[in-house]
A and B are shown apart, each in its own frame.
Chain A
Amino acid sequence: MGECISRRVVGITASLLTAAPASALACPVCGLVGTSNNTWAYQAMTAMLTLLPLAMVGATVWWLTRLAARADTERPSATEHASTTHRPVGAETYSVVARVD
């Protein structure tokens, strides 16, 4: 019961804060917005801080994907392994035969 009430209080408080963004000045310099001709700077830096992490995460994922693809091409394929007696450790190919009556 008490836990349910505290959840409601947190939910209502969060809703009120989102409805009043001017009161939630977490950024120490955001209070300067509109006080002079710095709106362009605020918008440009907002764009930078939004796009920069996305670009970095994207670049890292692309880099790791490329490395993994390169590692796959350098390693003999699973089919080749299955056709020889030298199978890779941990990777094995089985033929499963199912009889359907």
Chain B
Amino acid sequence: MSALALLLGCDAALLALGLVAMVVAKRKRGSFFVYAAALALCSALLAGGAYHLLGRQAPVGLMLPLGLPWIGANFRLDALSAFFVTVVNLGAVAASLYGLGYGRHERDPERVLPFFPAFLAGMNLVLLADDAYTFLLSWEFMSLASWALVMAHHREPGNQRAGYVYIVMASFGTMSLLLAFGLLAGASGAYTFQAMREASPTAGVAALALMLALAGAGSKAGLAPLHVWLPLAHPAAPSHVSALMSGVMTKVAVYGFIRIVFDLAGPADWRWSVPVLAVGAATGLIGVLHALMQTDLKRVLAFSTIENIGLVFVALGLALAFKASGMGGAAALAMTAALFHSLNHALFKSLLFLGAGAVLTATGERRMGRLGGLLNRMPVTGFFMLVGCTAISALPPLNGFVSEWLMLQAILLSPQFPQWPLKLLTPAVGAIVALVAALAAACFVRAFGIPFLGRPRSREAEAAREVDRYSLVAMGALAILCLLAGIFPGAIIDTLKPVALAATGANMPMQAKIPWLSIVPIAESRSSYNGLLVFIFIAASATLAASAIHRLASDALRRAPAWDCGFPDPNPATQYTAESFSQPIRRVLGGFVFRARESLDMPAPGEMRPASYHFALRDPIWDAIYLPIVAVVTNLSIRLNRLQFLTIRQYLSVVFGALVALLLILAAWP
């Protein structure tokens, strides 16, 4: 049995599990059963994907007599699909494992359980689809299943709006993809991917298809300005579903973009890379700045997803530009950076969302202003969250650093571009990537420091207890993977080789041959990095320093009240909060990005009323793009509303008029 058949079998089983879940959801052990079955099936999917990827298997195809009655559904498993199947199911395994414990706290299991396996199946089917029809069907299925999960707690304030915005944006994305495939299929209407690959679209058509793919995949991935739904919808879902949506579903969108642009659209044109680079860099910056301003832990994470997706698209844009300029090695490097970062983001963002879920379970709070001091109360969760925050801040020796390092190395190759616009654009993009990385570090000092460090800011935080074992194991596994990917990056780069080769037609140097497990993106004299040695050096020198001081000097320790320069205040409200932590950055950068307004009302001496401080942020993208659209649509619908209250006679004349008009147009059509 081929790996593909196994994968499809598991997907079918996941779909069936969704049906079973409807029946067992209300039972006592129903939730445990569903998550355990999903865990088993996703493990099998993960094994299948990893087997195909690591075993360097040749692509396999399969046609099933499903879907449209006379044409069937095509499926194919190649290196690119196999890589993303592995990434998706890594996240899915962790989320299912987490669900074993977390699912017990669910108030409405019947609103979550049936959709959870269906969502997983939908994502997996998108990755295996080999024709436009199957792809779009699975894509829409994935969107709807995740929409149902977003609406699981529809009575909570804000969730209905989140679901509404999400479904509108998801429909827009699917429509763009539909049009993109329509363009690529050409006049003959060949809808299989194989036929699209063989057809050679004209430059204009291919460019239009690229723009539509950018809009379609980008809206699902969260590219600005189509990102507005993401920070609403991702946090609204239960936390393990948030982990899937943020960590994994965005990767399915990245897959869709790579599939269309690098595989189906034919030879690349360097002009395509300009919008991808520009949108990617803008998305990264907007995402991280918003993340720094949020006070809800899960919204911080959702905005940080937008930032990371921006970085992935920057790398994809570079890969596109290098590929079009015939710089194979550089293209493979940029593509590897994009894929590596996708994997990394799937690992640490799933970890962080699971951690946020643990905080939610323990305290019932997502607002950072009501948390604090959790590291003492939830030491294990806190440690794993710390690993995740360090990794996402791109600090060595963890995995986030490696992919951003590869990205910067790719940017350093850009003076060799023959095209002037790229020569000028890429250093600017490089500077923005550096800025984004630094802002992300600040963002995660805040996202970890405010909830986990300091003193508890509420009674709930004070009473927090460590969460169940399943959740801890799920987070621990992801944390270990973050570390392993960081200290053995060479193995991952080599694994990505067939994927990068298929997408860009070139290879990076073989990393396994380099001594001491270093990685070398281009040549040894140019740059190299060794995560393992850096890790060992840090661990060794920290241990050395600690043991030397403890042995030779003093190891006495005394606990005493905090000093705070002589003015300690027992009230936890005097601590820095999420808002005050980002106040300097808000003042420096927020003024023109968010049109941030601060106002301070300080009563004169002797007055008894309390002082107050207010600040307001606006999202310029929402104001500039979405509000006008909403206004136009509202206006139109109010006008069209009149059509609802006509008499039968009037309706008949409207129908008659429309018919005549259509026939006239048809007759006049050349």
Q: Does A associate with B in a complex?
A: no
